[in-house]
Amino acid sequence: AMPRLVAFDATTGRIDTTFRPVVNSTVKALAAAADGLSLYIGGSFTSVNGVAAPRVARVDAATGARVAGFAPAALNGQVNDMRLVGTRLIVGGAFQTVGGVTRRALAALNAGTGAADSSVNLRVDGPRTTTTGVTAPVKVEALDVSADGTRLIFVGNFSTVAGQARHQLAVARLSSTGATLSGWSTDRYRPNCSSSFPTYMRGVDISPDGTWFVAVTTGYMYTGQLCDAAARFEFGTETGGKQPTWVNYTGGDTLLSVAITGPAVYVGGHQRWLDNPYGRNSAGAGAVYRPGIGAINPVTGKALAWNPTKDRGVGTAELYATDRGLWIGSDTNTVAGEYHGKIAFFPLP
């Protein structure tokens, strides 16, 4: 058994039996370390290889052994996403404290030692409440950093950042001295979607050139709102009132993940359709069938012809675009009519 974290050959798919970390709970996030020999992991776990590791650890990429000298400050809740930016490991999740100090949902650790880095303190706050009173602690669901390392975007359950109104999505500037909130903002994620969950943000990805991004959501069929949809926004000037360049609606099905390659915006979830603004849990006028995974034209916002199809299940939770192709991870086993157990790879044209 190799629970929760496993390595395999990217060409053959063969499991690497020498990589054997022992992680006691879910791993939600990975980031390659700068040395090319190790990786950071984040999730809900509290120990790795029998040693305390409260939600973050660094392990040898060949063996899974813990890397000596990395002793991260304790996080009191799950890590959902992470990015390595220079000497900082930026983490987002459902934690409320780091090393016993209040630091809700977003924090940085020293990439070498794991010590808390107080230079990233954007004071994420304001847990949302639905129309029926459902609420939850502040959290970051997903984040991304531009290729040049200067821009951070994060989404989740919050309504203020650094004392300013930011509804479920915020942009910050990163520098050698820390992080500062950008003036960029949108009110389009202020309304509620479903009455059963306070945040409907599920994924976000910045374009390779760093000038725009796409956010994907769950929700439930609210006309005029960005529920169950992929939406492109431009960064542009750092001002408020931003509106999406385009929105692609599923018509009532959740999108969980997004990856931008330049020629395409890939989206995953348990959606049945794209191009479906008129659908209400049905295929409305213009809808195209794109079960579980699809691709969107980054300029027009319309679905591309690419349609491998996959078993939908809970959904395609992970998309990872590389120079070689697109990796997908989900809870199902059939992609393009073939067996691919939970993981599949598409070479990019």
| pLDDT tens, position by position, 5-26 | 999 999 999 999 999 999 999 9
pTM of the model: 0.97
Three-class secondary structure of residue 143 per DSSP = strand
DSSP 27-49: EEEEEE-TTSSEEEEEES--EET
Which ranges of the chain have pLDDT less than 50? none
User: What is the distance between the alpha carbons of residues 123 and 334, in angstroms, rounded to a whole number?
Assistant: 43
The third-level CATH classification (topology) of the domain covering 80-347 is: Methylamine Dehydrogenase; Chain H (2.130.10)
Query: CA 22: distance to chain centroid?
Result: 24
pLDDT of residue 221: 65
Per residue in 16-58, pLDDT (tens digit) is 999 999 999 999 999 999 999 999 999 999 999 999 999 999 9
Q: Is the dihedral of CA 271, 277, 279, 284 positive or negative?
A: negative
What is the model's pLDDT at position 1?
A: 77
Per DSSP, 310 falls in state B
- The pLDDT of residue 348: 77
